[in-house]
């Protein structure tokens, strides 16, 4: 079973805590010359793992950010980009063509830029235009370095007073993440492993994953992305309360295909009572269709611990699901094919 993991992705998961440890040092080594006193809004450019890092930053810091933040995945920047805008351009490879194009437009807008990359064209642009730069270590794939994409920026925002309740050390989080991942390491861990059990529950089903806004908004998207990338299987993601105004009606679908679905509710007990009520009503509607409903609760004490417990759990679930489907969790053949064909248009 484990010979399918040709790149030893499991070891990357087990060492995720090191990315948190390294993040402060990466920021210390960065070349940054941002006049933070002039910043009135933040635009984050990124797709894939880089985009997810931006979404998670936005959600985790939802009520802590002191300036508006907008995450953009595409070739363009908003029209409100000015010298009072901090544009964070993130692409681990430095070769994401949408982010490169948007970065060029951000430079033209006069915005202040902070580039996060390990190399490629984005690194060349940063150096050519004397842009502030957090340079990441090379030789990884972007989806392997979510921690390096997220935490240096968390520290940057915290050190520059863009957020309240900043935890400069993250010591407890590092310990929590290390222990959490060890509890999901089969067959080393001697006990029940939730992620592996969930993979078997999802096997040969279409998982429909729901999380709650604002703090867990992007977590369902994270699970969807990981299952699609690693297990090479389709998944659906939604967010409560938004899904109560549209997608919930879709569960009236009179088709036997619904029996091939399994719903997973990613929950945090510390949410607004009205949101809790919406979750319960949504489960009731879905169960009436004979669809299995699985409840998964966030672990940990702090918001960062709770969010990353669910993000990492999804990572482990997708890893075990990939092995069940006899897929290498690190291969992304269709993504590479699209990049190749798009590259031929230049």
Q: What CATH number corresponds to the domain at position 245? A: 3.40.50.10490
In a domain, 98, yes or no: yes
The whole-number pLDDT of residue 341 equals 83
Are 129 and 248 contained in the same domain?
no
Are 149 and 251 contained in the same domain?
no
Q: Is the peptide bond before 310 cis (omega within 30 degrees of 0)?
A: no
Q: What is the DSSP string of 155-203?
A: HHHHHTTSBSS--SS-HHHHHHHHHHHHTT-TTTS-S--HHHHHHHHHT
Each residue's pLDDT expressed in tens, for the chain with a length of 346 residues: 446 888 889 999 999 999 999 999 999 999 999 999 999 999 999 999 999 999 999 999 999 999 999 999 999 999 999 999 999 999 999 999 999 999 999 999 999 999 999 999 999 999 999 999 999 999 887 779 999 999 999 999 999 999 999 999 999 999 999 999 999 999 999 999 999 999 999 999 999 999 999 999 999 999 999 999 999 999 999 999 999 999 999 999 999 999 999 999 999 988 999 999 999 999 999 999 999 999 999 999 999 999 999 999 999 999 999 999 999 998 888 888 887 888 888 6
Supply the pTM of this predicted model: 0.95
**Spatial separation of the C-alpha atoms in residues 174 and 172, rounded to whole Å:** 5
Overall number of domains in the chain: 2
**Spatial separation of the C-alpha atoms in residues 242 and 282, rounded to whole Å:** 12
Helices then strands, each counted (H, E), the chain: 13, 9
* Beta-carbon contacts of residue 52 (< 8 Å; ≥ 6 apart): 146, 218, 221, 222, 225
Are 201 and 147 contained in the same domain?
no
Are 154 and 221 contained in the same domain?
no
The whole-number pLDDT of residue 280 equals 97
Q: If DSSP codes are grouped into helix, strand and coil, which group holds residue 43?
A: strand
Nearest to 310 by CA among 272, 266, 263: 266
Are 237 and 289 contained in the same domain?
yes
The whole-number pLDDT of residue 3 equals 60
Burial class (CB in 10 A: 0-12, 13-18, 19+), 47: buried
Please identify, among 141, 159, 177, the residue that sits at the C-terminal boundary of a domain: 159
Are 133 and 208 contained in the same domain?
no
Which structural domain range is residue 99 located in?
Answer: 31-159
Q: How far is CA 176 from the centre of its chain?
A: 18
Are 193 and 139 contained in the same domain?
no
Are 40 and 149 contained in the same domain?
yes
């Amino acid at each position: 079973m484990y010979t399918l993991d040709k790149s030893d992705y499991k070891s990357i998961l087990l060492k995720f805590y090191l990315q948190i440890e390294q993040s402060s040092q990466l920021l210390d080594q960065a070349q940054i010359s941002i006049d933070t006193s002039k910043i009135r809004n933040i635009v984050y450019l990124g797709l894939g793992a880089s985009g997810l890092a931006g979404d998670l930053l936005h959600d985790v810091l939802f009520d802590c950010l002191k300036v508006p933040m907008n995450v953009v995945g595409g070739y363009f920047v908003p029209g409100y980009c000015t010298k009072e805008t901090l544009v964070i351009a993130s692409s681990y490879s430095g070769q994401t063509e949408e982010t490169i194009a948007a970065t060029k437009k951000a430079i033209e807008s006069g915005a202040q830029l902070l580039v996060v990359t390990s190399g490629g064209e984005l690194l060349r642009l940063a150096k050519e235009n004397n842009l502030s730069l957090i340079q990441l270590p090379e030789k990884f794939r972007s989806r392997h370095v979510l921690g390096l994409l997220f935490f240096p920026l968390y520290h940057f925002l915290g050190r520059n007073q863009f957020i309240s309740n900043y935890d400069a050390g993250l010591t407890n989080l590092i310990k929590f993440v290390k222990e959490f991942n060890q509890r999901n390491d089969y067959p080393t861990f001697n006990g029940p492993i939730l992620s592996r059990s969930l993979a078997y529950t999802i096997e040969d089903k279409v998982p429909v994953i729901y999380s709650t806004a604002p703090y867990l908004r992007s977590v369902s998207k994270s699970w969807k992305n990981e299952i699609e990338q690693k297990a090479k299987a389709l998944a659906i993601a939604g967010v409560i309360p938004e899904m109560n105004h549209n997608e919930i009606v879709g569960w009236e679908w009179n088709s036997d295909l619904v029996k091939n679905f399994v719903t997973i509710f990613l929950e945090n007990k510390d949410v607004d009572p009205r949101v809790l009520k919406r979750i319960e009503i949504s489960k009731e509607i879905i169960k009436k269709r004979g669809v299995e409903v699985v409840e998964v609760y966030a672990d940990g004490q702090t918001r960062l611990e709770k969010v990353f417990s669910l993000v990492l759990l999804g990572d482990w679930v997708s890893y075990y699901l990939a092995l069940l489907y006899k897929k290498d969790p690190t291969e992304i053949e269709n993504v590479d094919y699209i990049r190749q064909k798009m590259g031929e248009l230049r």
